[in-house]
Amino acid sequence: MSNKANLADRPWMDPDVQPFIKLRGVSKHFGPFIAVDNVDLEIYKGELFSLLGGSGCGKTTLLRLLAGFETPSTGTIYIDGVDMTNVPPYERPVNMMFQSYALFPHMTVENNVAYGLKRDGIEKNEIKRRVGEMLAMVELTQFSKRKPHQLSGGQKQRVALARSLVKQPKVLLLDEPLGALDKRLRENTQFELMNIQEQLGVTFVVVTHDQEEAMTLSTRIAMMHNGRFMQIGTPTEIYEFPDSRLVANFIGSANMFEGRVTENGPDHIIVQCKEPECEFYIDHGFAIQEGTKVWTAIRPEKIKVSKTAPESVESNQLKGVIDDIGYLGKLSTYRVRVGDDTIIEITSPNLSRPRDGSLAHDWEDKIYLSWDPSSVVVLTK
Amino acid sequence: MIDADEIGSPVSADKNSSLKKRLLHALQHNWKSIVVFVPFFWLLLFFLAPFFIVLKISMAEPAIASPPFQPMFEWVDDGIVQIKLVFGNFAYLWEDDLYLNTYINSVKISGISTVICLLIGYPMAYAIVRASDTYKHILLMLIILPFWTSFLLRVYAWMGLLADQGTINSLLIYLGIIDDPIRLLYTPFAVYIGIVYTYLPFMILPLYANMEKLDASLREVAADLGAKPSTTFLTVTLPLTIPGIIAGSLLVFIPATGEFVIPDLLGGGNVLMIGRLLYNEFTANHDWPIASAVAIILLIVLVLPMMLYQRTQGKQVET
């Protein structure tokens, strides 16, 4: 982590780099409702930062605070070192792409994209050149004379993107950029967005409720709930090391068990759970008192399924009966009943092609579950 | 139909319900044509037929009779019908300056009133759209409220306000601003006040409907792309409310041009408008053909903006 090359991709770990966007104690109240609750945030230049959360978590309000459509009730917003808290949207070096795209219905594609440049009083030929470049980038050159209502959803999305990028903003804010697209178009556009972001080096702040989208796109994700950040980290950090049950559950799925810390060594801890009755051996230290109530979480794909008992020790394994199987082609999900009424979800890749069409495991099969000591996450929140 | 008969109970006591069923059946299967036919029939009966009657009268010769014009069709001896069309009435309108001036004056007065209505109504509609939901309903209610009292009564109220001994003059004299009453009533000014006051809601409501549909995020996009509020208004809000402006303007302009009560009561003899002229021709002069010709010309003057209106409406549907 200490070498510079590594830090170039992770500016948030480099103490020498100044954040590009800085929020200090920002709150936004709508009457009695608190949309954003006293948050601090740093976003660095060139990041593709995602604000992730369910509806009403405050992510869109936070984005609108950055764009300048809302002024914070308290706190300060710095963009590129300048206090932007009370600067109106038309004087901010940021542009936003709206969820509804909000294309001007009375203007052609070309004029929609040119709108921002015209406001800056840029010379006509220069506008024409830049609009042409932008439309070429989003592959809409032949549609330049069309009106928005003559475009498909994907084309509208690209016009909106071109319009918000043509002014070369320092920060591009995207509100559910792919929300209105169908699945296939979405996946393609995701990678297009990432390419454009890399190509232009613009800082992207993306609001989304789609965890997969956030995982694919982002350098870092801020998971929001009730106007606050639950956790901020890289997709890997958020997925592999969630620090609360809420995050573990929102990003992917997780099997979670309540238990008590029974042993706390320097290089391991042991959590004993009642339901199902199981001992979790975790192979890293954790600053926690013995006897504390915690939750353990294991991702469905990190549990191994076998028909015979794994040799090793008595910890990190369970016996169960397959309750349900979901065959998804590349992988299968199993719902395994352990004990009386605990259901554990497991996903397992279908590595070999079954000769007679039968699956590796069948309903009501008695099976053993096991996992690595490193796979268990301890959640205190 | 046959189905309904077969299903219908054969017992004669149920004849009523069988008829009901058949009617229902017919309704269910022909409702589209019925729905189209009703307004069509309505227009035919109450618009087109009267129009042709007026057109017919406009081309007749006046006579001292009842009705006071000569018939268009006359039976000549051998079962031959003689049709007499007189275009002299229209020629007369052209020759006499009075009519031309009255038309011009009417269009001028209603045109200026329309512009004033637009200048007052546009900001009002805009303010109502931007108001919070609770206020929005109250404000809209206030716009519609005057319709709950008689139009005539409200015009009379204006007479009371504008008269030489009326409220406004008395107040100004009491305050010492003027010594002698200013002539307000029976002036063009009074007519403008009356028309603008009466027709303002017809300007505000279509504008409101238009603005309400506007996506608020369009204004935000414009601001985001660097447009100051004034620029946003000129480049986004105004162009997108043109359909509302046209609809409101026509709703004011068309009825205001033919307005009779307001110029008659507030303008007196000093403000000549086509509605008053029409009334005079019909009643005082008892010259129905000329009056009809005046009405036909008025219709033509107004059909033009109507067609314009239809076209913009059609365009609006397209987009």
Phi, psi (rounded to 5 degrees) for B55: -60, -40
Q: Which of B191, B131, B196 is nearest to B159 (CA)?
A: B191
Q: Which of A82-86, B75-79, B249-253 has the lowest mean pLDDT?
A: B75-79
Can you tell me the mean pLDDT for B61-79?
Answer: 78
Question: Is the confidence at residue B6, as pLDDT, over 50?
Answer: no
The stretches in chain A having pLDDT less than 50 are: 1-2
Could you tell me the pLDDT band of residue B319, with boundaries at 50, 70 and 90? very low
Query: B88-318 has which CATH code?
Result: 1.10.3720.10
Domain map (residue ranges) of chain B: 2-58, 88-318
CA distances from A30 to A35, A70, A71 (A): 7, 10, 11
Nearest to B217 among A68, A102, A149 (CB): A102
CB pair distance less than 8 Å for A116 and B226: yes
What tokens does A282 get?
A: 């975790």
Can you tell me the mean pLDDT for B232-258?
Answer: 92
Q: Is the ipTM, as predicted for this complex, more than 0.90?
A: no
Between residues B69 and A165, the one the model is more confident about: A165
Confidence at residue B317, expressed as pLDDT on a 0 to 100 scale: 52
Q: Does B68 sit behind a cis peptide bond, omega within 30 degrees of 0 on the bond before it?
A: no
- Distance, in Å, from the CA atom of B276 to the CA atom of B221, rounded to the nearest integer, reads 51
Beta strands, E only, chain A: 21-30, 33-43, 48-52, 74-79, 82-83, 94-97, 171-175, 203-208, 220-225, 228-233, 255-264, 269-273, 278-282, 293-298, 304-306, 317-327, 331-338, 342-349, 366-370, 377-379
Can you tell me the mean pLDDT for B92-118?
Answer: 92
> What's the pTM value of the predicted model, to 2 decimals?
0.77
Could you tell me the pLDDT band of residue B25, with boundaries at 50, 70 and 90? confident
A31 at interface of B, judged by CB pairs closer than 8 A = no
What is the tens place of the pLDDT at every residue in B151-183?
A: 999 999 999 999 988 899 999 999 988 888 889
Contacts of B225 in chain A (CB under 8 A): 90, 95, 115-116, 119, 163-164, 167
Q: What is the mean pLDDT of chain B?
A: 86
CATH class of the region A253-379: mainly beta
Contact A291, A270 (CB under 8 A): no
Contact A159, A148 (CB under 8 A): yes
DSSP 8-state secondary structure symbol assigned to residue B60: S
What is the tens place of the pLDDT at every residue in B185-235?
A: 999 999 999 999 999 999 999 999 999 999 889 999 999 999 999 999 999
Selecting from 3.30.420.40, 3.30.70.3460, 3.30.70.20, 3.40.50.300, what CATH number does the domain A4-246 have?
3.40.50.300
Between residues A275 and B259, the one the model is more confident about: B259
Confidence at residue A110, expressed as pLDDT on a 0 to 100 scale: 94
Confidence at residue A290, expressed as pLDDT on a 0 to 100 scale: 78
- Ranges for all domains in chain A classified under CATH 2.40.50.140: 253-379
CB pair distance less than 8 Å for B223 and A90: yes
- Ranges for all domains in chain A classified under CATH 3.40.50.300: 4-246
Nearest to B226 among A67, A105, A120 (CB): A120
Residue of A nearest to B236 (CA): A104
Confidence at residue A357, expressed as pLDDT on a 0 to 100 scale: 65
Confidence at residue A6, expressed as pLDDT on a 0 to 100 scale: 64
Question: Is the confidence at residue B13, as pLDDT, over 60?
Answer: no
Nearest to A119 among B225, B239, B240 (CB): B225
CB pair distance less than 8 Å for B224 and A149: no
Question: Is the confidence at residue B129, as pLDDT, over 60?
Answer: yes
Confidence at residue A29, expressed as pLDDT on a 0 to 100 scale: 92
